[in-house]
Amino acid sequence: MGLWRGSACAGFLALAVGCVFLLEPELPGSALRSLWSSLRLGPAPPGPLSPEGRLAAAWDALIVQPARRWRRVAVGVNACVDVVISGVKLLQALGLSPGSGRDHAVLHSRSDLEEAFVYFMGKGAAAERFFSDKETFHDIAQTASEFPGAQHYVGGNAALIGQRFAANADLKVLLCGPIGPKLHELLDDNVFVPPESLQEVDEFHLILEYLAGEEWGPFKAPHANRFIFSHDLSNGAMNMLEVFVSSLEEFQPDLVVLSGLHMMEGQSKELQRKRLLEVVTSISDIPTGIPIHLELASMTNRELMSSIVHQEHGRSKTRSSDLTRIHFHTLVYHILATVDGHWANQLAAVAAGARVAGTQACATETIDASRVSLRAPQEFMTSHSESGSRIVLNPNKPVVEWHREGITFHFTPVLVCKDPIRTVGLGDAISAEGLFYSEAHPD
C-alpha cells in the first residue's frame, strides 16, 4: 500500500479503530495483524499511589522535541462547522421518541436518524453517517443551530488538524477545504487559506453528544461519545483536492496531511471509483521528498475502504511510495508501528498523542489524575500466532517498545477522561500531536 510517500521521505497512515480490522497491510510477517487480537482490555487496579498520576508524570519526562522539526505543514481537504448539541435533547426537540436501535449506512429520514443514534448510544460508540435528504437535513440543522446551548466549532479532520498545528506559532499552516464565512471566522490567525478555498456558504456537520450513563428510553450509554451526520456535498466529493495540490508548489511544505476520503461514503460507487483514481493521480503530483500522512476516520463502506487500502499505485518495484508508519488509536491504548530507519522520536510521539487525548477530553491544560482512569490491558502478548513476548504495564515506564522483522512498535495506555467535556476531534488532535513530535529521516 505504498501510495503515500516521496522517494526521499517516508509516508505514513493514521487509522481509526473502526477501519483497522478491514486492513491487510503488507508488513513483514503480518506483524500488525497478529497484534490486535492479542490485547485483552481491563480496568487499572486501584491503589493508593495513583497509577494515573505516575503515568502522567512519566509521559511528561518522555515527551521531548524532535531534533528536526516541521516548519511548513499543508493540510486538506475536508473542513466544516461543527454544531455540537445534546443528542437526546435534539431528538426530543424534533418530536422523536426512542424506538428500537438500528444501524443505517446512510440516513434517509428522521426515523433513520433516531434509530442509528440510539443504536450507537447504546454501545457508547462513535459513528458518522451521511444524510441523503437535503431539505430534511436543512430543517434539522436549523433546529440544532438555534437550540439553546448549541455550540459552533471548527470541524472536519483537515481543519481540526490544521488548527492544532497552528497553536505552534513558529509553524506555518496551509489549509485547503470548503471554507465558508463562519468557519473562516473560527480559524486560528496562523492558518493560511488560499482564496480558491473560500466559498459563500458553510458546510455544517451536526454532532450529537451523549454522556456516560445518559439514558433515553431503554437505552443507556456505557461511555460518553458522539454521533455525527451531515449532508455534505463539497467535502463528500473532495472538491478542494485539486486546489490543495496546486497550492503546494508555492507553499513548499515539508509535511502534507490529507484527509476526507471517508466523506465519499455518501457518493455513488461510480463517483467513488472515479474520485479515488483522481486522488491517486493528485498525490502522484505532490513533489518527491514530501512525506504524506493519510488520516482516516469512521467508515462503514467496506468496498470503499478496500479500494483505499488496496490501491496498486506504488506497488511496483520502482515505486516511489512506501507505507512506513501507522498510528493506531483506541479509547484505552495507542500503538505506533514504524519501519526501521525511517522515523525518530516515536517514543515521544506516541506519548504525546496519548497525553492530549486525556487533556482535550477533560478540557484541562495538564492531566488531572483525579479525572482520568487507566483502563488499558495490564498485560498482553505481543503475538499469539508467532513467537511473542509478554508485556506487563508499568505506569512508571508507560511506553513499551518491541521489535519484529524490521518494524518497531511503541505501545502506551491512554488515561481516559471519566467525565469528558467534548469528545469531537480527539482523533485529529492525537494524530496532529503525534506528527508534531515525529521526525522523518530524509533517506
- Cell digits for 143? 433546529
Residues β-bridged to residue 403: 408
**Which string of DSSP letters, residue by residue, matches 349-360?**
HHHHHHHHHHHH
| Among the listed residues 80, 46, 70, the one whose alpha carbon sits nearest the alpha carbon of residue 230 | 80
Q: Is 428 a catalytic residue?
A: yes
- CA pair distance 113, 108, nearest whole angstrom: 8
* CB of 414 closer than 8 Å to CB of 334: yes
* CB of 258 closer than 8 Å to CB of 76: yes
Q: Which one from 188, 419, 428, 443 is the annotated catalytic residue? A: 428
- CA pair distance 31, 36, nearest whole angstrom: 10
* CB of 384 closer than 8 Å to CB of 44: no
Burial readout 394-411 (b: 16 or more C-beta within 10 A, e: otherwise): ebeebbbebebeebbbbb
Non-local CB neighbours of 382 within 8 Å, separated by 6+ positions: 35, 38, 388, 389, 390, 391, 402, 404, 409
Residues β-bridged to residue 325: 12, 338
- Cell digits for 321? 511510495
Known catalytic residues are 428
